[in-house]
Structure 1
Amino acid sequence: MARWEPLLEQVMRERAPRLLAYAAMLTGDDAEAHDVLQDALVRTFSRGRRFDHVNQAEAYVRRAIPSVVIDRSRKFRPVPRDPADHPQVAAQASDRDAVMDVRGALRELAPRERACVVLRFYDDLTVAQISAHLGLADGTVKRYLSDASAKLAGLLGSELDLREENTVPVTAPLVKGRR
């Protein structure tokens, strides 16, 4: 048995549900989230790193997930969905007044926009930390957050401001006119 196998088994046993939920937020698709998690595990454990604790291994896998999502988006270009072909999308639109489906709205963002939003609000990273994490310029991250803000506002029917100084979470609508 390789020295990393027991730690991989422990990560999968104890941390897989959280890592899978994180991947699903970035992909918007549970089936694709499984593939992304698998790829992130391979990237993490195939490089011969030594992890002292399961927390350290989980952190490496969590850090690899957004990169895997972006890399996969370069290879697989999804066909735009027509809401008429998918009744569940139309149902979500009618339920928007009752429940804001942030996860559904995140699916509509481009992979890099989605990664920036999730890293900003789920992982609570600053613009500088996101740019370092994804290997992008600060201005590029700000542009992705701005574009995502406009798209999410249209999808969720609220005014959203994803600038760094804004501390209101994505799921809460802002009072009109307040920024």
Structure 2
Amino acid sequence: MGYDDRLAEYIAGRYGALRRSAYLLCGDVHQADDLVQSTLVKVMLAHRRLERIDSIDAYARRTMHSTFISSRRRLWHRERPHAQMPDTGTPDPDVDLGLSVRAALQLLPARQRAVVVLRFWEDLSVQATADVLGISEGTVKSHTSRAMATLRTALGEAIVDLPDTTEPQIGALT
């Protein structure tokens, strides 16, 4: 199977998963779409290197998280205009919890958010997360600890069963 076939198969099979991870990173569907598109463009442009890489998925995941983190260094991302006020209806509690968790994720710095998404959404180990982000395992652990403390504070009583460890189960993110 040639590179073009491998890449087309990868995009067809993993586009949805990349988009969901990007949404958790960005907190906005349009920014998530832009992030996935930027990532896939970079993956396609790196075709010479990818022929020697065993896992296109690992390369794409690292590229997406690096692109996200570097985009947060720009000043323009801080402005968030809104065309209209958000809906103020009263959704059921599970929807409220999901919205609360997504809002709390947006409070985290970009690198901490990337660590949380990789560790608990993509279910990567500490070592795999460190490899994707190009940081040490200790940095992954400290970012996880700080991020979880921020999430616990932001969510308050919304999640009472969130354990006080660096390896919590936060399935409510989805």
State how many pairs are aligned.
161
Unaligned runs of 5+ in 1: 173-179
Change (3 A) 1:51 1:38: farther
Per chain length, whose mean CA-contact separation is higher, i.e. which structure has more relative contact order (CA < 8 Å, sep 6+)?
Answer: 2
Q: Which secondary structure state, in structure 2, belongs to the residue aligned with residue 78 of structure 1?
A: helix
How far did residue 65 of structure 1 move? 1.3
TM-score (norm 1): 0.70
1:28 counterpart residue number: 27
1:156 counterpart residue number: 155
Looking at secondary structure, tell me which structure has more helix per residue. Answer: 2
* 1:61-116: CA deviation from partner (whole Å, max 9, x where unpaired): 233211111111122453377xxx9645xx59x76955312333222221111111
Contact 1:142 1:163 in 2 (8 A): no
> Identity over the aligned pairs, expressed in percent?
32
Q: C-alpha distance in 1, partners of 2:91/2:152?
A: 16
1:170 counterpart residue number: 170
Candidates 96, 100, 107, aligned match of 2:97: 100
Unaligned runs of 5+ in 2: none
TM-score (norm 2): 0.72
**Structure 1 vs Structure 2 CA RMSD:** 3.2
More divergent stretch after superposition (8-17 vs 100-109):
8-17
Matches within 5 A, 1:32-43: 32-43=31-42
More divergent stretch after superposition (107-116 vs 72-81):
72-81
1:50 counterpart residue number: 51
* 1:134-153: CA deviation from partner (whole Å, max 9, x where unpaired): 12233322221122112211
Contact 1:37 1:65 in 2 (8 A): yes
Contact 1:43 1:64 in 2 (8 A): yes
Query: What amino acid does structure 2 have at the position aligned with 1:62?
Result: R
Q: C-alpha distance in 2, partners of 1:96/1:26?
A: 24
Q: C-alpha distance in 2, partners of 1:60/1:136?
A: 15
